[in-house]
Structure 1
Amino acid sequence: MKNVLIITSYFPPETGAASNRIFHLAEGLKDHQFNVSVLTPLPNYPTGQIFKDYKGKFKHSATENGILIHRLWIYASNSKNKLLRLIAMLSYSFSLVWFFMWHKIPKTVIVQSPPLLVAFTCMLCLKSKKRHLVLNVSDLWPIAGLELGAFKKNFSYKMLEHIERFNYKRANLVLGQSEEILSHVTSIFPEKNTFLYRNYPDFESPKLNYNPSNGKLKIVYAGLLGIAQGIYKLCQELDYSTIEFHIYGSGAEQVKIETFIVNHPELPIIYHGQVTRNELHEVLLQYDITIIPLLKRIYGSVPSKIFEYAKLGLPMLYFGGGEGETIIETHELGWIAEAGNYNELNSVITSIKSDMISESLRQKIIEKGKKEFDFKSQLGRLKNII
């Protein structure tokens, strides 16, 4: 049985695409007869505070569902202050170095990126002729940060570019969640081994029992309420004459969204808070369509929600541009609207009629997802090269 270590900054019980992605990868490799262990910080995302069950601990190790999970100390913070966020990343990096010094590390290591500095620490400390390093790239940083307005092209940005290239160079294999990510990597290192790894989750598709809305179209968003998703802006720009808007999740914009709802009681916006992933899968099925927005088109980004909702058979309205838009259109998973164009978004919503959202459409989406993104076939190919 081959040993593999996965190093990530996010893992359940934390919620969100990043933790779900790595969890499914760990479970999938375990099911393919790998002896899997995970290195991750003490749970703190997205609140920026260590979860109650882990407070006061420097390290916590336990075997969960056959996977050994080491949770290391981190200075937890979700502050917008760049210095505090840097300290948080560095604290986890220091914990990783300490762990590397006192533990035997398997020959095969999968490292999640971003965060760039955490990946850099792993690539710097673990590279050896006998070790096989796999870099799992879910977003292109620092490019994504530049497009979101978080960075400016200055000395700090140049340093991050050097770190990014160092990480790619040291990796024996790069996994990418999008074709754009892999194209970017091979534009820098043409001979680099790459593998397209879509985040198609491994759970049983639900039995469909859809009852269409008799009145307004019920649109749901579920996920991180962060700056990149732009849910607060969406609340301000939607035309509510024919829709209800339901929101699940938490994040940096949560307070602003809640305040907007309180100040506009006439608008049919309902914030449901945060629920577990299993609960979410149940409640999502009562809605007509889901919206997947990005405030701006981000090169390399393909929201994992696309693949999860395909598994659920939930029709999607994609409002983020780029490769995600192409996937929705090519595989007929729903509707698209030009990123940032709220007039077009409202026009597309108005064109969606209840008779379009049939149970047969949902079954078609499930079948498309299985055919195009099947998790087990991806893992079957991946296990032979890591």
Structure 2
Amino acid sequence: MEDILIISNYYPPEKGAAANRIEQLALKLHQNNYNVSVVCPLGNYPKGALFPEYKGKFSVTENRENITVKRLWIYPSVSKNIFIRILSVLSFSLSLFFYLLFNKTPKKVVIQSPPLLLSFISVFVLSLKNKKIILNVSDLWPLAAIELKALKENSFSHKISLFLERFIYKKTTLILGQSNEIISHVHSIFPDKKFFLYRNFPDHQVLTMELKTVEKQPIKIFYAGLLGIAQGVLELCKKIKLEGLNIEFHIFGDGVEKNQIEALISLQTEQKVFFHGMLDRKELHEKLKTFDIAIVPLKTRIYGSVPSKIFEYGSLGFPIVYFGGGEGENIVEENNLGWVVEVQNYKDLNKKLLDISKLTKAELDVMKKRIFNQSQKTFDLNNQVKNLIEKEVF
């Protein structure tokens, strides 16, 4: 078996799309006869505190489903204080730097980007060791940070980030882009670089649709994922109009907006929005079997970003209300997965919700079956990984 290393800032038991995405890649490579190892921080996301099993430890080596996972020390934090957050990033960056410098690594390494600093350190050390570096780009930083107004254009931090971005693209052997927009962006900077599209397809291993459409219940729309600034779920809760509609809105997840969302829901006079907290992925999927529609929002259109929830929930059979703009709109429309709403256009969103409320459960059941069958053919992780192996990407 050929050895391959994956470097990521997230990995289960941490929750969220990023951790799931990297685990799926690791498992698929293992199934295709690679000996896979992962280097990541001690588990802490999304709460920003070490999980109980990692407290008081400097590093941990585990075996998770035949994947060797090396967890390195980090000072975790989700503080709004920029200096504390920088300290957190630097802590794992230093751990990673010394680990890569003084430990033997395989000839092939996959690096998840962003975060930029971790990508930079990984690429810097591994390029000195003449490794084959496969950069897996899921979001375009610092461009996304500018669009989210987390970074000021032409500031010192922006210029440093641009330097890091260009360095990792230049020194990388080849690049996997999660969207065509990512590939176009990198190609505009380094046109001679090798690029491959690698979508965030899930691997549910579900051969028949397991969703159950329940009659004589309201239509249940749900959001499941990170409750961060980029997703804008708090604003969504404030501006959707469900009064008089046969619709409930259910929220699953954790993040910086969690407390504000819970406080807002507690003030409701008519119970239409429900918060369930963060659930394990398997527990979440079991809970969602009697739900009807997934909503995928972004607070602003982020160039290059395609939320993995489109593939995650489409593959289970859920119709999708896509509220994020960009390439995701094309995917939803081309595959007839549901409804597309312009970013921040709450008037249009509420109009779509009014139309949705008039659907019968029988109509929803037909939609679910059609979307499940379409997604099984289109969002196939096995075929995607095998095609990349055939092209000698890994």
- Which residue of structure 1 lines up, in the alignment, with residue 218 of structure 2? 216
In 1: Cα distance, 2:114 partner to 2:393 partner: 22
From 357, 372, 375, the equivalent of 2:381 is: 375
In 2: Cα distance, 1:238 partner to 1:358 partner: 21
What SS does structure 1 have at the residue aligned with 2:315? helix
In 1: Cα distance, 2:332 partner to 2:284 partner: 22
RMSD after superposition? 1.3
Equivalent residue pairs, number: 386
CA drift of 1:210 comes to 2.3
- Which residue of structure 2 lines up, in the alignment, with residue 4 of structure 1? 4
Matches within 5 A, 1:32-47: 32-47=32-47
- Which residue of structure 1 lines up, in the alignment, with residue 150 of structure 2? 150
Matches within 5 A, 1:182-331: 182-205=183-206, 207-214=209-216, 216-241=218-243, 242=245, 243-331=247-335
CA drift of 1:215 comes to 5.1
CA drift of 1:304 comes to 0.5
CA drift of 1:209 comes to 4.6
Greater displacement, 78-87 / 340-349: 78-87
- Residues 228-286 of structure 1: per-residue CA shift (max 9 Å, x gap): 11111001001112121111010000000001011224241110111110011112221
User: Are the aligned partners of 2:11 and 2:40 in contact in 1 as well (CA < 8 Å)?
Assistant: yes
- Residues 67-112 of structure 1: per-residue CA shift (max 9 Å, x gap): 1110000010011122211111111111012212331011100000
User: Are the aligned partners of 1:285 and 1:314 in contact in 2 as well (CA < 8 Å)?
Assistant: no
- Residues 12-68 of structure 1: per-residue CA shift (max 9 Å, x gap): 000000000000000000000001000000000010000011100000002221111
What SS does structure 2 have at the residue aligned with 1:296? coil
User: Are the aligned partners of 1:212 and 1:354 in contact in 2 as well (CA < 8 Å)?
Assistant: no
Change (3 A) 1:299 1:209: closer
In 1: Cα distance, 2:144 partner to 2:214 partner: 38
CA drift of 1:208 comes to 3.2
What SS does structure 2 have at the residue aligned with 1:245? strand
- Residues 165-195 of structure 1: per-residue CA shift (max 9 Å, x gap): 1111111111111111111010110111111
CA drift of 1:214 comes to 3.1
- Residues 279-320 of structure 1: per-residue CA shift (max 9 Å, x gap): 111122211211100011111110011111121001100001
Change (3 A) 1:129 1:75: closer
What SS does structure 2 have at the residue aligned with 1:201? coil
Matches within 5 A, 1:41-56: 41-56=41-56
The sequence identity of aligned pairs, in percent, is 48
User: Are the aligned partners of 2:317 and 2:368 in contact in 1 as well (CA < 8 Å)?
Assistant: yes
CA drift of 1:354 comes to 2.5
| 2:364 is equivalent to residue 363 of structure 1 | no
- Which residue of structure 2 lines up, in the alignment, with residue 164 of structure 1? 165
User: Are the aligned partners of 2:100 and 2:122 in contact in 1 as well (CA < 8 Å)?
Assistant: no
CA drift of 1:359 comes to 2.6
Structure 1 residues not aligned, in runs of 5+: none
Greater displacement, 325-334 / 366-375: 366-375
The amino acid across from 2:141 in the alignment is: W
| 2:121 is equivalent to residue 126 of structure 1 | no
CA drift of 1:373 comes to 2.2
Greater displacement, 231-240 / 214-223: 214-223
In 1: Cα distance, 2:39 partner to 2:162 partner: 25
User: Are the aligned partners of 1:240 and 1:267 in contact in 2 as well (CA < 8 Å)?
Assistant: no
User: Are the aligned partners of 1:40 and 1:72 in contact in 2 as well (CA < 8 Å)?
Assistant: yes
Q: With structure 1 as the length reference, what TM-score do the two structures score?
A: 0.97
CA drift of 1:212 comes to 4.2
Q: With structure 2 as the length reference, what TM-score do the two structures score?
A: 0.95
